[in-house]
Amino acid sequence: MEEIERAQYSIGETAKMFGVNTSLLRYWEKEFDMIKPNKNKKGDRFFTTKDIETIRTIYYLTKVKGYTLQGAKEALKSNFAKEAGNAMVVETLLKIKNKLLEIKQEL
């Protein structure tokens, strides 16, 4: 099923997208000043599509490439667009791989 893109995602939805805990997202929010979720009066976080792109890139750098947080910060400062593009490519390839594995199981 295709994911419908929305303007904002709750912290729970965002955590589920990346398979991480909400506490990690809150930690990254403190560490990376580019993540700026909107908050309601209760303090609930709502991440924009720009925040999601940033989180995707941080996830890619730290979880896939094995960067430290400091290394990820430096990579984002030096060339965010390149790293964001790499993160999108890897995510797309993983989705294709998973779809192909589903098809293979059905054969």
List of domains in the chain: 8-106 (1.10.1660.10)
Backbone dihedral region of 93: left (phi > 0), alpha (psi from -120 to 50 degrees) or beta?
alpha
pLDDT, tens only, 11-54: 999 999 999 999 999 999 999 999 999 999 999 999 999 999 99
Interatomic CA distance for residues 23 and 21, integer angstroms:
5
Tokens of 85: 């593009």
Q: What is the pTM of this model?
A: 0.78
The neighbouring-strand residues paired with 8 are 48
Contacts for 8 with CB less than 8 Å, ≥ 6 apart:
38, 46, 47, 48
